[in-house]
Amino acid sequence: MKRKQRKGNRWISILLAALMAVSMLPGCAKQKTEAAETKGESKTGETKQPEDIRLGMIVGDLSNPFFLTVKEAAEKRAEDLGVSITVLGSKTIEENVKAGEDMIQTKVDVMAITPFDATGNIPLVESANAAGIPVFTIDSTVDGGEVVSYIGTDNELGGELAGEWMADKINGKGKIAIIEGGSGSSTNTYRLKGFRDVIDQYPEIEVVASVAANWARDEGLNAMSDIIAGNPDLAAVMAMNDEMALGAMEALKAAGKTKDVVLCGYNGAAEAIQNIYHGDMAATVAQFPEEMGRMFVDAAYDIAARGVYPDTDHLKPPVYMVDTVSANKAMAAITDTDMKLDYTTSVKADKRYRLGMVVGDLSNPFFLSVKNGAEAMAEIMGVDITVLGSKTIEENVKASEDMIQTKVDAIAITPFDASGNIPVVEAANEAGIPVFTIDSDVDGGEVVAYIGTDNVLGGELAGQWMTEQIGGKGKIAVIEGGSGSSTNTDRLKGFHSVIDQYPDIEVAASVAANWARDEGLNAMSDIIAGNPDLSAVMAMNDEMAIGAMEALKAANKTEDVLLCGYNGALEAIQNVYKGEMAATIVQYPEEMGKMFVENAVLTIQGTPPENRHIKPPIQTMSTVYLEKIYDSLQEN
């Protein structure tokens, strides 16, 4: 795909920002049962006992699940803290302002509003200022008056995530449409800005329509019907909330276009996630409205009870992309079921080609998933594939040499050593067989493409997550894979590029466990014996992390030591969901297998990939993310 030159590696910044937001949540860190201690500014003034504190909140339409979730979370948090709260919904700016004015008259101690218009709601904020009532804004903000803090997702970041996801999904070209919310809303403005900042860098993407549907499902349906009637070759649609996306989904169904048009929403509503899981929508940018409600009550409590204000004017809940693949993987892990590999492809094989693949140990769930993805895609495309596992470099080389002798049409190899596997790549080159590498790369020979996660980025994400969790100080340990592997080298490089910026973090140990669970357990046992005050552990794959988890359990250190893995193995995700691990950097090995088969066929037929590095998606799965997916799908 062709795109304009970008300045710097902005995508890394986007992902790091998203991850940093996640670190503020319970489930990623130990949750306090009392209001969080605020490092904000202490202001003199009257403080009250919890039973005397009265809070007020005006949100949008409570028939919208997003605002209902904000309300319910705020009420639950207020009950936990022993304060009273009144939460009112509003469907128009007039209702919104009237409810806010009434609340000011009742002299609440602190209030929050969801503005309908960045300008139109200014007088209401100024009225609260005049009455001496601290004001927060939730989900949208205003352009005037004094606001303590805006509580809301970084909507520009969310728009960027959606733009990157959509551009990748449609291969950087095609006609797209945008369904906006309200033009006066800061929420709409920032989501649109982030999305367009990315999309506008792709000269082969044409935005054929950008129309307002006022956040409503029925208007989303009508807007989509009009757009598709005028653009039957539409490739994708971005709706700036899930209500409009769900309306658009119905219009696409009626037009028989569900499978032809990629549809992305925004919010992470349960109904949207259900439709994503079942394939009727493609993705949503997931917010956490429950965190917005909780954040307001905690911050308001600190002001009213302690006279302490937040030290930031933007309190940011996390933001995640949820698509069919990630929702499927999360549910497969949580429910301990097989992952659905419901693939489709536009690539057609001219004949029944013979493909070969040599990966690592097939007792490792990661490589088994690569195999399953490749075999599923090969069946769909009508080609044959043989996938062999290997436990040593000798087995790996022998299996590859045997495949070359059978004259496969294309081969993929997972190198055990960046140098040691060069001769087998050169042997395939000499035989005229296109070679791909999967999960690790080689330092020589001619390779069509390396198919694997950006492991430097994954290491950076893990490093950023860990530094946030331990407050930038403490003892940590690193459990490495194999020193000759490019995978280990890149993950370690990314991790240290972040960790080494913190002088108060001490790497107490960095030892190899050769990607194996039993060696991970032994390494962790030795490390914890010599470092009883250890704060966190980074294991460079999930097998070693699960071994480390068992060692921490045996030492009764599960609650004291944060443990992060890497790969997103189903068993690891289960342990994150249960709270026995803290996080894992999720790869999609099934996608690697799929990507090899598609690109091998294209290469054989004369259209090799443009990029030397084909990158599957990568994301962090934490407890809060997994709970959202599971809870949404249980409502189905």
pLDDT band at residue 10 using 50, 70 and 90 as cut-offs: very low
CB 531 within 8 A of CB 560: no
Residue type, 634: Q
- Can you tell me which residue has the tokens 């998606």? 617
Query: Looking at residue 275, which CATH number applies to its domain?
Result: 3.40.50.2300
Q: Are residues 464 and 582 in the same domain?
A: yes
Is 323 a domain residue?
no
Q: Are residues 408 and 419 in the same domain?
A: yes
pLDDT band at residue 20 using 50, 70 and 90 as cut-offs: very low
pLDDT band at residue 40 using 50, 70 and 90 as cut-offs: low
Q: Find the mean pLDDT for residues 549-573.
A: 94
pLDDT band at residue 17 using 50, 70 and 90 as cut-offs: very low
pLDDT single digits (tens) 386-400: 999 999 999 999 999
Number of compact structural domains in the chain: 4
Burial 489-527, CB ≥16 within 10 A → b, else e:
bbbbebbbebbeebeebbebbeebbbbbbebbbbbbbeb
Q: Are residues 468 and 572 in the same domain?
A: yes
CB 134 within 8 A of CB 313: no
For position 337, what pLDDT does the model report? 78
pLDDT single digits (tens) 563-600: 999 988 889 999 999 889 999 998 889 999 999 999 99
Q: Find the mean pLDDT for residues 401-415.
A: 97
Is 8 a domain residue?
no
pLDDT tops 90 at residue 541: yes
Q: Find the mean pLDDT for residues 499-521.
A: 96
Is 573 a domain residue?
yes
For position 623, what pLDDT does the model report? 67
Q: Are residues 475 and 571 in the same domain?
A: yes
For position 27, what pLDDT does the model report? 35
Segments forming the whole domain that contains residue 394: 354-453+590-616
Q: Are residues 572 and 606 in the same domain?
A: no
| pTM of the complete model | 0.72
**Three state DSSP letters for 351-368:** CCCEEEEECCCCCCHHHH
Least confident residue range of 170-179, 359-368, 423-432, 617-626: 617-626
pLDDT band at residue 127 using 50, 70 and 90 as cut-offs: very high
Identify which has the larger pLDDT, 149 or 628: 149
Q: Are residues 480 and 599 in the same domain?
A: no
DSSP state of 136: E
Is 129 a domain residue?
yes
Q: Are residues 176 and 144 in the same domain?
A: no
Q: Are residues 164 and 267 in the same domain?
A: yes
